[in-house]
């Protein structure tokens, strides 16, 4: 987050996060990238012990009672460790908690939120299925009513934290006789009989985050673990798009930042043709572009976080969040690629972590909704929004010399 926009309390919070990030051993980062550590349990336990998880939730539940702006700042700082650290930091405490804090019963908050924020339990969010992630409402997982609860069957894939989670937020079809958006339910599913998870993907990057296929075979889920009402998955799904996408955007900045910083240091020291390569405009301008993209991304995350904190119009927030996710993830990917390019051949090796950052960041434009889906939402919301606000602003159409040549204004 920008220094000049922070209060003293926010700076102190930022410094706590930076101290925590500094304390994480490099061995853990390397072991995760080698797939030798499948899930960084101790990292989350320590974050919980330091009260760093979920800062925007009520103090009574183990949060700090802060705002979205603070959560975004936290996600950026944790992203510096590597994208997957921010993924596991965010999935439980930012995503799963968000839904339970907003829509859960008091009993669910006690059983799930409090231990999660304390780092004592781990959670995973299960939307994506083998048959598709973008088409969320096409989900094939289903739950059928039984005495005192539901019997859940289905398979989810690419689930961050899935290999270690103690419980799962799972969407399933509960009424096949109505359109899917009226017949799906969200469940909080404890790991137990019928739940299996396999850490099986050869991921390009973001390794060590417990990304797994999770299967549910005749799993009994008590009524008390229905989140937000039977057939009311939409009430959970749509609001969760805010933490999914705004959190993703914020952490992507943090993950790209070290690449740009390393490139700055390297190009200041490295010489070619008798001078530091930073003094060649072809090099220095790429670093300048990268820094500009990071700052533009940070600005967008900040203003969108302010819109969410202010309770702005939900449709406009939906557009802001989607365009923020799309712009920031593609901008940060570009910034990291610039960083690798100006480091020449060595940037492509594992002598520096830049190649890992580039690999890791490829996930940013895919998960929590692809950037194509983000564009789809922005398009839909913008056209609706324009129709609503057009009458309130000056009509620019007559401000052209031949504006009234109706014969030239042909639309069909």
Ligand X SMILES: Cc1cc2nc3c(=O)[nH]c(=O)nc-3n(C[C@H](O)[C@H](O)[C@H](O)COP(=O)(O)OP(=O)(O)OC[C@H]3O[C@@H](n4cnc5c(N)ncnc54)[C@H](O)[C@@H]3O)c2cc1C
Residues lying near ligand X in the complex (CB under 6 A): 91, 125-128, 132-134, 158-160, 203, 206, 211, 363, 366-370, 372-373, 376
Cβ distance to ligand X smaller for residue 126 or 357: 126
Measured from the CB atom, is 172 or 263 closer to ligand X?
172
Q: Least distance to ligand X from the beta carbon of 130, Å?
A: 8
Q: Which residue is nearest to ligand X (CB)?
A: 133
Min. distance of Cβ 363 from ligand X in angstroms?
Answer: 5
Distance between CA atoms of residues 244 and 126, nearest Å:
12
Provide the minimum distance between the beta carbon of 277 and ligand X in the complex, in angstroms, as a whole number: 34
Pick 201 or 280: Cβ nearer ligand X: 201
Cβ nearer to ligand X, comparing 125 with 190: 125
For the chain, the distance separating the N- and C-terminal CA atoms, rounded to the nearest angstrom, is 48
- 200 burial (CB, 10 Å; 0-12 / 13-18 / 19+) is exposed
Nearer to ligand X, 68 or 367 (CB): 367
Provide the minimum distance between the beta carbon of 380 and ligand X in the complex, in angstroms, as a whole number: 11
Task: Name which of 54 and 347 has its Cβ closer to ligand X.
Answer: 54
**105 versus 370: smaller Cβ distance to ligand X:** 370
The angle formed by the CA atoms of residues 339, 345 and 346, to the nearest 5 degrees, is 75
Q: What is the DSSP string of 157-226?
A: EEETTTTT-SEEEEEEE--TTS-GGGSEEEEEEES-TTEEEE-----SS-TTS--EEEEEEEEEEEGGGE
Rounded Cα gap, residues 59 and 51, in angstroms? 10
**Shortest distance (Å) from residue 204 CB to ligand X:** 9
- We find the least distance from the C-beta atom of residue 55 to ligand X, in angstroms, to be 21
We find the least distance from the C-beta atom of residue 115 to ligand X, in angstroms, to be 20
d(CA 20, CA 337): 27
Tokens coding 105: 């019963």
CB of 396 to ligand X, least distance (A): 31
Interior angle at CA 347, CA 25 and CA 24, nearest 5: 10
Would you say 57 and 229 are in contact if contact means Cβ atoms under 8 Å apart? no
Strand partners, 221: 150
The pair phi, psi for residue 122, each rounded to 5°, is -120, 150
Q: Which residue, 77 or 129, has its beta carbon nearer to ligand X? A: 129
Could you give the CA distance from residue 38 to residue 201 in angstroms, rounded to a whole number? Answer: 11
């Amino acid at each position: 987050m920008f220094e000049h926009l922070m209060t003293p309390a926010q700076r102190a919070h930022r410094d706590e996060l930076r101290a925590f990030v500094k304390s994480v051993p490099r061995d853990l980062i390397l072991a995760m990238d080698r797939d030798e550590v499948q899930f960084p349990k101790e990292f989350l336990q320590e974050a919980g012990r330091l009260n760093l998880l979920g800062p925007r939730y009520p103090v009574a539940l183990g949060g700090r009672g802060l705002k979205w702006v603070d959560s975004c700042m936290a996600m950026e700082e944790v992203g510096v460790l590597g994208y997957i650290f921010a993924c596991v930091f965010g999935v439980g405490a930012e995503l799963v908690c968000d839904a339970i804090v907003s829509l859960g019963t008091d009993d669910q908050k006690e059983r799930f939120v409090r231990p999660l924020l304390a780092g004592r339990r781990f959670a995973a969010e299960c939307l994506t299925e083998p048959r598709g992630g973008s088409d969320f409402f096409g989900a094939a997982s289903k739950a059928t009513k039984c005495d005192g609860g539901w019997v859940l069957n289905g398979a989810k894939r690419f689930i961050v934290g899935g290999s270690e989670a103690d419980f799962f937020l799972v969407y399933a079809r509960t009424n096949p006789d109505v359109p899917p958006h009226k017949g799906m339910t969200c469940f909080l599913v404890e790991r137990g009989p019928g739940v299996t998870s396999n850490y099986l993907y050869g991921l390009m990057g973001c390794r060590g985050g417990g990304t797994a296929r999770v299967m549910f075979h005749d799993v009994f889920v008590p009524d008390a673990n229905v989140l937000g009402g039977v057939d009311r998955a939409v009430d959970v799904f749509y609001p969760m798009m805010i933490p999914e996408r705004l959190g993703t955007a914020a952490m992507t900045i943090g993950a790209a930042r070290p690449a740009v910083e390393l490139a700055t240091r390297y190009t200041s020291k490295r010489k070619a043709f008798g001078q530091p390569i930073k003094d060649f405009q072809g090099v220095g301008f790429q670093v300048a572009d990268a820094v500009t993209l990071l700052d533009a991304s940070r600005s967008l995350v900040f203003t969108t976080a302010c819109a969410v904190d202010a309770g702005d119009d939900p449709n406009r927030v939906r557009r802001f969040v989607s365009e923020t996710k799309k712009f920031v993830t593609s901008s940060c990917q570009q910034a990291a690629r610039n960083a690798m390019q100006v480091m020449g051949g060595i940037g492509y090796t594992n002598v520096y972590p830049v190649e890992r950052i580039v690999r890791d960041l490829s996930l940013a434009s895919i998960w929590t909704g692809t950037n194509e889906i983000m564009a789809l939402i922005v398009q839909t919301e913008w056209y609706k929004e324009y129709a609503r606000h057009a009458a309130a602003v000056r009509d620019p159409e007559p401000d052209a010399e031949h504006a009234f040549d109706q014969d030239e204004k042909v639309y069909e």
